[in-house]
Amino acid sequence: MNKIPIWRRYDRLLGSDRAADVKAELRFHIDSKTDDLIARGWPPQQARAEAERQFGNIRPVQRIGEHIGGHMDLRSRISDYWSECMHDTRYTVRTLLANPTFSIVAILVLALGIGANIVVFSVVNTILLRPLPFPDSQQLVRIVEKDAKSNESGKTYTADATQDFQQQNRSFQSVSGYFAFSSPNNFKLAGSGQPQPATGMLVAEGFFETLGVEPFAGRLFRHEEFLQHAQTAALLSYPYWKRQFGGDPNIVGRTVDLTDKGDLNNKSVTVVGVLPQTFDFGAVFSPGTKVDLFVPYIMDDFRSDGNDLALFGRLRPGVSIGKAQNEADLLFPQFYFEHKHPEYGKGYTAQLTGLKEYISGKLRRSLIVLWCAVGLIQLIVCVNLSNLLLARAAARGKEFAMRSALGARRGRIVRQLLTESLLLAVLGASLGLGLAWAVLAWLAHQGSLALPLLHMIGLDGAALAWTLVFAVGTAVLFGLVPALRTSSPNLQEALKDGGHGASEGRRHDRLRSTLVITEISLACVLLVGAGLMLRSFLRVLDVDLGFEPSRAAAVSVDYDDGGNPARQAAIWEEVVSRASQIPGVEAAGISDNLPMSRNRGWGIAAKGQAPPKNEDYLPVFVYIVSPGYFKAMGMRLIAGRDVTWDDLVNNRSVVVINETVARRLWPGQNPIGRIAYAGGGQPEVIGVIADVRESSAEDSGAAQMYLPATKQFGPEGSYLVVRSKLPPSSLATSVMRTLRDINPGQPASQFSPVQSLVDHATSPRRFFVLLVGIFACLGLLLAALGIYGVIAYSVTRQTQEIGIRMALGATPARVQFDVIWKTLRLALAGIAAGFIASFAVARLIASLLFQTAPNDPLTFAAMVAVLALVSLLAGYLPARKASKVNPMDTLRAH
């Protein structure tokens, strides 16, 4: 920094006038020249003319001078401004260092507020604002049956319908899809050591091309690879390639011993390519799941398998979703389920939704609520800092009065104070950015969290810009009030006022009280919101799932039955009976589907006089189960009996239905012994079981049926579920040993508690509750800090007054009571305002609540009590201090 030279101050005094300067300088030149010429003997008149002649044309020189001068003025003004800024900054650093407690508290509070804001902004930006990580992603559209709800089969289409749509539509550049019913660990990779499980996804032709995904290495699938009996090709996901193959650069073209557990031919696959790191199937299509490899979905293999393709497409440029929807509404009702069997019927529907909207639409409201919550936090932070600064400013009132008495303009003092808040904000923002970075890095690796696109979360340009805007905005917001207040031109008053109950002090107090009341009411809104969310979450956890996840664990079982149902039954019986004999196991059973993971839907109808028509079928979730499964899952049999091994051996056609099916098909009657149409046969209803929450804890029970495997249909995969008194992990070794005994090729699958399925399903809600809860605690803490600050400050200021009162006979208890009463008045005013605001806010978040009324009295009462209690605590500490005042000391001190 350059020192301002003496003459710059001098020229300020007269007011800078470049034109006059230039004129004076040039006149001096001419005058001196004239003098010289006269000295050499020229007559005065001619001397002046000669001097001017020698100088040349004076006008343009003058103009240049003024021009250059203007530039220099501007520059010097900027540099003066800058040097003043540096001066302010250095001064600020000094004052902040002089008061480290204040500085640390202020910076920490800011860092928490700004950090929380960056995190939530990044989450919102990734999930809601940023386009999907595909080129021209706005053209991508998800195609789902209308009114499909949570039944995956209802959201999907048959191979034939898919091909019809691919051929007949005019709106899409391409339409593709994936097999919606892949189960985790459906592949096993043999090689060195134990076979390793892997999750494969079957994708239809053009899947990657439609998305616009380019391979990281190798190539995508070719048309031939989608033909029947083609050598199976596979694309590896980037993480799987890194993890399983150590990032082997020569993987492309290699044949690996990866076998599809459901595939009887047991052939190995050729790796044709590796997908880029940025492509995460789970993040886009199925949050919280990981997919290791992709294999072609060969239409001809699936023609008679019913609805199993989840469809999406890329619109042609210039075609709107509305136009495509109109076309789909015309086309889909025409499509047959299966060309070979037109008698199965026809008539699909299709709801077109932008892929982005489809992925994040459900989360929009939660995220916006979250965003508002951190916004509230930031408001509280600002109010709190305003208060802190105001307290400081009040203490420094004399300093500022002195400065303005010495000639500092009001703007200059405001600038000084703003520099202070800006510096605090910048420091807080830097720390907050660090915090946010750490939290985001952690979040990005929460693969089990069922939130879409989570892996892409991170600090980016937008987040940084947001931080900057936020920090500056915050600084101005919380700095301006104290700055304007302190610099108000009331010199005499301030200089006179020793800070003991003079009017200026009272005015400060009123403003600070208002700020604290605001803070408390904002915290109240946050607390009530968080309380309602928490109560909803507890209600969700408390829901009767229809099964007891706590002491059950499941493992994917691998076996080779050669496609023979009898052998499959024998293997199942052996697995279940041997698993049941393991010490500690109470019950064991097998099912091909577990609740809250993938699902599959068929139809069921009651047998009446006439064969049922299409619309008579009730959509129903299907489970192929072994005897013992109900017991192992802890499901409750309401009536009738479980499936028995006898049913399987004798290939008896039986079905267990849940209460919903019983109610819908045989209302008011006993369903046991009735005959139903289901699974291509006419099974007899042998039992009724309590409804199980199928897709999440929050959806009420849907129609479900449980069938033993028969000749017509086999299981799709199989999960052994065991129930035990012991923690699942202690059983893992013995169960795995048993399974490997039966089948040496059993891969080292994970033996996972059934609870983890429930946890996964409730993870988004837990995530939001956790965040909102943290924010509410933060808000409470800040509000408490605010109350404490105001009360402690006023006690300090009134020490003398308190001393006098005590000298006049006030008891310490009386003094303490007065301070607490003051606190309570502030708290109650804040709570009253917050209470009213909470009612309005609660109504806004009503749709996010689960079995909790937005005006849930318990929540409101509890939160008000918490807030009042914390306020009291915050006021108690200064109150105690006030009651310890020694009257003699204070009187002597003044």
Q: Does 58 bind another protein (CB under 8 A)?
A: yes
User: Cα–Cα distances in Å, from 275 out to 132, 291, 292, 739?
Assistant: 17, 11, 10, 34
Beta carbon nearer to another protein, 10 or 461: 10
Of the residues 4, 61, 511, 675, which one makes contact with another protein according to CB under 8 A: 61
Smallest gap from residue 43 Cβ to another protein (A) = 19
Rounded Cα distance, 788 and 782, in Å: 10
Q: Count Cβ atoms below 10 Å from residue 641 Cβ, excluding itself.
A: 13
Beta carbon nearer to another protein, 29 or 346: 29
Q: Does 69 bind another protein (CB under 8 A)?
A: yes
Smallest gap from residue 17 Cβ to another protein (A) = 12
Q: Give 115: exposed, middle or buried? Use CB within 10 Å, 0-12, 13-18, 19+.
A: buried
DSSP-derived letter for residue 510 is H
Q: Does 28 bind another protein (CB under 8 A)?
A: yes
Q: Give 12: exposed, middle or buried? Use CB within 10 Å, 0-12, 13-18, 19+.
A: exposed
Strand-pair partners of 602: 620
Smallest gap from residue 423 Cβ to another protein (A) = 29
Q: Does 565 bind another protein (CB under 8 A)?
A: no
DSSP per position, 253-276? T-EE-EEETT-SS---EEEEEE--
Beta carbon nearer to another protein, 65 or 640: 65
Beta carbon nearer to another protein, 65 or 375: 65
Smallest gap from residue 82 Cβ to another protein (A) = 15
Strands (DSSP E) contained in 180-266 are: 187-189, 196-198, 200-203, 217-218, 233-236, 255-256, 258-260
Q: Does 17 bind another protein (CB under 8 A)?
A: no
Of the residues 21, 80, 84, 698, which one makes contact with another protein according to CB under 8 A: 21
Of the residues 3, 9, 10, 611, which one makes contact with another protein according to CB under 8 A: 10
Beta carbon nearer to another protein, 56 or 318: 56
Binding range to another protein, per CB under 8 A, among 53-61, 190-198, 450-458, 468-476: 53-61
Beta carbon nearer to another protein, 71 or 364: 71
Q: Count Cβ atoms below 10 Å from residue 458 Cβ, excluding itself.
A: 13
Q: Does 12 bind another protein (CB under 8 A)?
A: no
Beta carbon nearer to another protein, 23 or 766: 23
Which conformational region is residue 753 in: left (phi greater than 0), alpha (psi within -120 to 50 degrees), or beta? beta
Q: Count Cβ atoms below 10 Å from residue 342 Cβ, excluding itself.
A: 10
Q: Does 149 bind another protein (CB under 8 A)?
A: no
Residue 307 token pair: 């609805």
Of the residues 3, 7, 15, 228, which one makes contact with another protein according to CB under 8 A: 7
The contact pattern for another protein, residues 70-99, with x = CB under 8 A and - = no contact, is -xx--x------------------------
Q: Which of 569, 708, 719, 739 is nearest to 184 (CA)?
A: 719
**What is the helix (H) or strand (E) element at residue 24, kind and residue range?**
helix 18-39
Judged by CB under 8 A, the chain residues 627 through 666 that form the site for another protein are none
Beta carbon nearer to another protein, 60 or 246: 60
Strands (DSSP E) contained in 592-724 are: 601-606, 618-624, 637-640, 654-658, 676-678, 684-689, 704-707, 719-724
Q: Which distant-in-sequence residues (6+ apart) come within 8 Å of 75 by Cβ?
A: none
What number of chain residues touch another protein (CB under 8 A)? 30
Smallest gap from residue 54 Cβ to another protein (A) = 6
Beta carbon nearer to another protein, 38 or 128: 38
Of the residues 1, 3, 6, 583, which one makes contact with another protein according to CB under 8 A: 6
Binding range to another protein, per CB under 8 A, among 61-69, 121-129, 459-467, 663-671: 61-69
**Beta strands 233-236 and 618-624, pairing class:** unpaired
Q: Does 29 bind another protein (CB under 8 A)?
A: yes
H helices of 595-699, where?
Answer: 629-633, 645-649, 659-665
- The SS3 assignment for 451 reads coil
Q: Which of 789, 109, 87 is nearest to 427 (CA)?
A: 109
Alpha carbon 240 to chain centroid, angstroms:
25
Q: Does 64 bind another protein (CB under 8 A)?
A: yes
- The SS3 assignment for 136 reads coil
Binding range to another protein, per CB under 8 A, among 18-26, 115-123, 323-331, 771-779: 18-26
Q: Which distant-in-sequence residues (6+ apart) come within 8 Å of 267 by Cβ?
A: 231, 232, 259
Rounded Cα distance, 155 and 151, in Å: 7
Smallest gap from residue 53 Cβ to another protein (A) = 10
Output the furthest CA–CA distance in the chain (Å, rounded).
142
Beta carbon nearer to another protein, 58 or 837: 58
Of the residues 20, 49, 55, 641, which one makes contact with another protein according to CB under 8 A: 55
Smallest gap from residue 48 Cβ to another protein (A) = 14
Smallest gap from residue 7 Cβ to another protein (A) = 5
Binding range to another protein, per CB under 8 A, among 64-72, 99-107, 721-729, 804-812: 64-72
Strand-pair partners of 753: 553
Q: Does 869 bind another protein (CB under 8 A)?
A: no
Q: Does 54 bind another protein (CB under 8 A)?
A: yes
Are 180 and 552 in contact, with CB atoms under 8 Å apart?
no
Binding range to another protein, per CB under 8 A, among 69-77, 504-512, 561-569, 689-697: 69-77
Smallest gap from residue 84 Cβ to another protein (A) = 20
Beta carbon nearer to another protein, 62 or 278: 62
3-state secondary structure 162-186: HHHHHHHCCCEEEEEEEECCCCCCC
Smallest gap from residue 1 Cβ to another protein (A) = 14
Binding range to another protein, per CB under 8 A, among 57-65, 122-130, 498-506, 554-562: 57-65
Strand-pair partners of 604: 618, 678
Beta carbon nearer to another protein, 35 or 257: 35
Q: Is the dihedral of CA 207, 211, 216, 217 positive or negative?
A: positive
Could you tell me the end-to-end alpha-carbon distance of the chain, in angstroms, rounded to an integer? 45
Smallest gap from residue 41 Cβ to another protein (A) = 18
Phi, psi of 294 (to 5 degrees): -125, 135
Rounded Cα distance, 54 and 531, in Å: 90
Smallest gap from residue 10 Cβ to another protein (A) = 7
Beta carbon nearer to another protein, 77 or 843: 77
Judged by CB under 8 A, the chain residues 32 through 51 that form the site for another protein are 32-33, 35-36
Smallest gap from residue 46 Cβ to another protein (A) = 17
What are the residues binding another protein (CB under 8 A)?
Answer: 5-7, 10-11, 21, 24-26, 28-29, 31-33, 35-36, 54-58, 60-61, 64-65, 68-69, 71-72, 75
